[in-house]
Structure 1
């Protein structure tokens, strides 16, 4: 049985979120304290490309350090078309034979290919929620996607990892699968646009 995560389901869901964002919302706050919506869209565009290259094992030494923070000032023109295209390419790239084999690199970090795929999935799902929460959209990843992430995010250190994800956050006594994954990524699942980010 193939237990690989389905990046197509996740990227299609996030595409729906991206294409529903109004230009007027680009300066709105998000659950990522350092990012407004436009900044986060730029980050999503960049990580989609980075993890597509990671799957293909292409250009891995072009950038030795972490990528710059996302910035709305660099947001690609036609982002409502470009970001969905990059997300689709990301999902296809990880379907290719050999994508999970051996070592790869993204954001200046070496990792096994199978880990790279999970990191890509986690980035897409978590930032998809960030954007949905910031712009008042529904967001419901499928059960298989959340199951694939659950084992991965449960291994994250509870104190967080600087530059990657924050400390685990509190949840209700019986959190949903999505709430658990988000909390293990350091997200405040009670965040709303009216509340301060943090």
Structure 2
């Protein structure tokens, strides 16, 4: 994953229009309320419910928690421009009170995207370059 945080640059390569940097406002979304709601769900989920089916019958509760764990871990690293943003974390890798560990990662996700520095610029993940504003919105959908 490569991460570039820079203002928008306008201009032409042929020199007819000088290149100039345009500072731009970025949309910042507060992910903390969604993260708080998700940690509440994780706190009420018991080990006995992990193999229960969800409304999407091909997925068990465990599968959805795996997804939340991966989103929280990866998108927290992305917000901080950390190299390990592509490392996926699954519940199989967590030991002990793993639901509490996933909840900790979810809280960290909210904190990471609370930093205004996470929102401007672009990042490339999975071979796709997107504005960090878009990555932040994707992170939000991962915990809602």
TM-score by length of 1: 0.52
Using the TM superposition, give the Cα deviation of residue 95 of structure 1 relative to its aligned residue in structure 2, in angstroms.
1.4
1:79 to 2:98 alignment:
yes
Is the CA contact (8 Å cut-off) linking 1:50 and 1:107 kept in structure 2? no
Is the CA contact (8 Å cut-off) linking 1:50 and 1:106 kept in structure 2? no
- Distance, in Å, in 2 between the alignment partners of 1:23 and 1:114 is 35
What value does the CA root-mean-square deviation take over the aligned residues?
Answer: 2.6
Long gaps (5+) in structure 1: 126-198
Q: Secondary structure at the match of 1:111?
A: strand
**Residue pairs, 1:30-179, within 5 angstroms:** 30-59=54-83, 62=86, 74=92, 76-77=94-95, 78-106=97-125, 109-125=128-144
Bigger strand share: 2
**Residues matched between the structures, number:** 118
- Distance, in Å, in 2 between the alignment partners of 1:3 and 1:61 is 22
Q: Which has the higher contact order (CA 8 A, sep 6+)?
A: 2
Is the CA contact (8 Å cut-off) linking 1:54 and 1:105 kept in structure 2? no
Long gaps (5+) in structure 2: 1-25
